[in-house]
Amino acid sequence: MPQHQYLDPHILAHLPKHIELIAKRLVQGLFVGYHRSPYFGSSVEFADHRQYYPGDELRTMDWRVWAKHDRYCIKRFMMESQLKATILLDCSASMDFRSNGLSKLEYGCYLAASLCYLIIHQNDMAGLVSFDDSIRDYLPPRGSRMHMRLILHALERLKTGRQTNVARICHHLAETMRARGMVIVISDLLDEPDEIIRGLRHLRSARHDIIVFQLLDNAELTLPYRELSDFEDMEAGGSTPVDPIGFRQDYISRIEEFCARLREGCVHSNIDYVRVNTSEPIEKMLFNYLVFRARHSR
């Protein structure tokens, strides 16, 4: 594949080998893959029995049940299905913030590209939705190398836009995405937390497997500034003069409380939540999460 801005070989080389991004929930798909499907088919993993009906294949008959209980039963096995993963990438104005190194949007683009590569490389399908207060790009999940290139080109064209509305996007996709699958949200989530949780729960009620990466700059977490400064709202506009030294402890308490509300809302809804400090190397953060996910997915 040709060189692309956000597909970093260094990141890919440090991802754990032989670990797939496994779906925790039942998924739907057209092809046999790694993930459990809500349907039954041919597999080595036994699911349950059902009553025999004329026309059923005799090779699926459980003769031990017949010998023991004088009942004709068919053995059903769990079908494996191909995963459809849709990545929701926030490109609102606040994602343009950086104190050093990558902006949150650039970090999110590297993360999205790495996840798409991983998903398609394991023979599943990846899609991309970029958004602010509305959907900017929509590439439905596909599994080809050409589709991977389309996603990378879309990431390279991205620019920050208006205010974010994570909840609205989640509600819209919950109502329009027909096949259940995986939804990966990459955002700073700087919005009303209760509204965000309601939107995520709507997606969850549509039986999607949800992963949330909350990207925050180190300065947003620690407020390291020392001089009296005007802090600008990057989405709503306007500025507020603040004495960082006098306000720091109160600010850190508030940001920790804000993140805790989001984390608790996700955990109570069986949604994976990962808070990411964008000063942390992407490959380290993603490696740790994939290993954690693999241990808790089966």
Most confident of 23-32, 78-87, 286-295: 286-295
Select the more confidently predicted residue: 101 or 262: 262
- Distance between CA 258 and CA 253 in Å, rounded? 9
Going from the C-alpha of 145 to that of each of 1, 17, 120, 154, the distances in angstroms are 8, 20, 8, 14
- Which residue intervals of 71-165 are DSSP H helices? 104-121, 145-157
Q: Answer for the pair 114, 15: CB distance below 8 angstroms, yes or no.
A: yes
- Helices and strands, counts by H and E, the chain: 9, 10
Predicted TM-score (pTM) of the model is 0.80
Q: What are phi and psi of 123, to 5 degrees?
A: 70, 25
pLDDT at 31 over 80: no
pLDDT at 30: 37
> Exposure string (b/e) for 219-253, b if CB count within 10 Å is 16 or more?
bbbbbebeeeeeeeeebeeeeeebebeeebeebee
pLDDT band at 32; cut points 50, 70, 90: very low
pLDDT band at 26; cut points 50, 70, 90: very low
Q: Whose CA is closest to 129, among 117, 118, 119, 141?
A: 141
- How big is the chain by its Cα radius of gyration, in Å? 23
Q: Answer for the pair 108, 155: CB distance below 8 angstroms, yes or no.
A: no
pLDDT at 91 over 60: yes
pLDDT at 29: 44
Instruction: Look over the chain and give the mean of its residue pLDDT values, rounded to a whole number.
Output: 85
Q: Answer for the pair 186, 90: CB distance below 8 angstroms, yes or no.
A: yes
* Stretch among 31-45, 71-85, 88-102 having the lowest mean pLDDT: 31-45
pLDDT band at 19; cut points 50, 70, 90: confident
% pLDDT > 90, the chain:
56
pLDDT tens-place string over residues 244-291: 788 889 999 999 999 999 999 999 999 999 999 999 999 999 999 998
Q: Answer for the pair 228, 288: CB distance below 8 angstroms, yes or no.
A: no
pLDDT at 220: 94
CA 96 to chain centre: 20
What the chain holds in terms of domains, given with CATH numbers, is: 9-25+83-296 (3.40.50.410), 35-81 (no CATH)
Tokens of 86: 């849709």
pLDDT at 45: 52
pLDDT tens-place string over residues 149-194: 999 999 999 999 889 999 999 999 999 998 888 999 999 999 999 9
- Distance between CA 223 and CA 228 in Å, rounded? 12
